[in-house]
Amino acid sequence: MINKRWSSAVLLGLLTATTLAGPVPALADDRAEPPTEPPRVQLVLDVSGSMRATDIDGRSRISVAQQAFGEVVDALPDETQLGIRVLGATYQGKNKQQGCLDTQQIVPVGPVDRTQAKAAVATLRPTGFTPVGLALREAAKDLGTGTTARRIVLITDGEDTCAPPDPCQVARELAAQGTTLVVDTLGLAPDEKVRRQLLCIAAATGGTYTAAQSAEDLTDRLKQLVDRARDTYATIPAKVDGTDTCPGAPLLSPGVYTDRETFSEHRWYRVPVRPGQELRASVSVALDRPVNPDYGVLLRATTADGRELVRGVDAGSGRTDVVSTGLRWSAGDDAERAEGTDPTPTAGAPSTVTTVCLVVSNMFSPRAGTAADPGMPVELTVDVVAASSAPDGPDLGRGWVLLLLLALAGLLTGLVTGLLTRWWVATWRN
């Protein structure tokens, strides 16, 4: 029963959102429409000389990786488009400059020809240098631009021997380019420098790091990551640029947005809210780089003239991926009574729309050597739904005390009436 009521409430919210969005009438349709793009994922395999080492279950790293790739290709869901890029696979010489340009796409991103892909992987022999940064950059190009999220899975056993470009810096640049790109990393060697580097790449793009210790680990994890590409590729927020003051800030309709905010920066947005509507906003700031252990995020809603309406705040310490908070605010009756909050009243009738300013600020402090630019990823969710009225006090009663009270009151009334009647009859007779 409650759930049914919910679904109608959600429908009502959708309707309201559509009404509000005025110029964008197709909004409600957008919510239901499935993306037409297939999920795209690129596997990037390190084929540098160190992959010859035989330290995974007594087998060489490359043979374990080849077996895992074969199984992943076999189990690949039909709609997923997979590409494979290798690095350090061909150049056998000692010239670093030349060796560091050694990366090729051996299977182009697209519908996979399983036999061909497996054959291409099987012929790989460990050879050259490890240009991870360049390979990442090229892999992002291979995946192309589009409206959906894309994933890169990087499998390597050694740290980048070709920096610059520093692979972590490359990952951060790619993540900041606007298309949602997630790099998951798999380390094949228990080496501290490799781990640090892969952790940094993963953190910069919101990906994960896994230390593969056995062939089974590697295969299972690869399959999981490729499946994840299919599960998560459709959800991609719209990019928006918040301003540093409220006037002129972008006007947002319900939906999910992404932005970047650096340390000590404030980003302003505006949301129009009608009387009888409730504004809901939530924000997540991702920690994609090393920061000091204590941090927080603050989301405030103010009127156009700076009066604070409500705030949401959250803080924490220790390891985390995002810090998030949210707020609700409803345009009450008093706002309707010409609060004067609308900064641009149109000629003629004054507008009844309250423009609420949202400001996102963060309380992160960079560690020594942490780059400030580009800013940290901000995810902002805005929704405008029907406001919920406060419940009134009940008009009727309930409970045994009420029954007792009413019965006693009735009894007393009966007694008094009876006595009065007796007294009146006696007096009248006399």
Partner 1 sequence: MRIRWATAAALIAAGVALTPGTALAAPTPSPGAVTVTRAGTSYLTATPVAAGQPVRVAASTGEYLYWSFPAAAGEIHEITATVTLAQNRNGRSTWSVEVFDGLRRRQACTAGAQTPTADASARTVGIGCTMRRVRPWAEPWSGDPLPGTYYVRLAVVDVPEPDLGLPIDVDLLVSTTDDAGSSADDGRLEAALVPPTNAGTVVDAEPTVAPESDGDDGWNLSLTGWLPEAGSRWIWTTAGGMLAAVAGVVGFALTRRPAIR
Site for partner 1 in 380-419 (CB under 8 A): 381-383, 385-391, 394-399, 402-403, 405-419
SS3 state of residue 313: strand
Place of tokens 């252990």: 293
Judged by CB under 8 A, which of 53, 120, 176, 199 binds partner 1?
Answer: 199
Tell me the closest approach of the beta carbon of residue 270 to partner 1, in angstroms: 8
User: DSSP state, 321?
Assistant: S
Peptide linkage before 38 cis (omega within 30 of 0): no
Among 129, 257, 268, 295, binds partner 1 (CB under 8 A): 257
* Of 134 and 286, CB closest to partner 1: 286
Is 344 a binding residue for partner 1 by CB under 8 A? The answer is: yes
Binder among 88, 131, 133, 254 for partner 1 (CB under 8 A): 254
A 10 A CB-CB count for 322 gives 16
DSSP-assigned letters across all residues of 224-247? HHHHHHHHHTT--PEE---BSSST
Distance CA 183, CA 198 (A): 9
Sign of the dihedral defined by the CA atoms of residues 187, 287, 318, 369, in that order:
positive
- Residue choice 227, 263, 266, 296 for contact with partner 1 (CB under 8 A): 227
For residues 107 and 117, what is the distance between their CA atoms, to the nearest angstrom? 6
The pair phi, psi for residue 97, each rounded to 5°, is: -60, -40
Tell me which of 127, 342, 359, 378 binds partner 1, using CB under 8 A. Answer: 342
Q: How far is the CB of 289 from partner 1 (least distance, A)?
A: 16
Q: Does 371 sit near partner 1 (CB under 8 A)?
A: no
Q: Inter-axis angle of helices 192-205 and 132-143, to 10 degrees?
A: 30
CB 360 within 8 A of CB 262: no
- Site residues for partner 1, window 311-340 (CB under 8 A)? 312, 314, 318-322, 324-330
Tell the smallest beta-carbon distance from residue 119 to partner 1 (Å): 30
Residue type, 132: V
Q: Which is nearer to partner 1, 119 or 419 (CB)?
A: 419
Choose which of 251, 338, 371, 372 interacts with partner 1 (CB under 8 A): 251
By CB under 8 A, residue 110 contacts partner 1 = no
Does 146 interact with partner 1 (rule: CB under 8 A)? no
Per the DSSP assignment, residues forming a β-bridge with 362 are 297
Site for partner 1 in 21-40 (CB under 8 A): 21-24, 27, 30-31
Site for partner 1 in 203-222 (CB under 8 A): 206, 208-211, 213, 217, 220-221
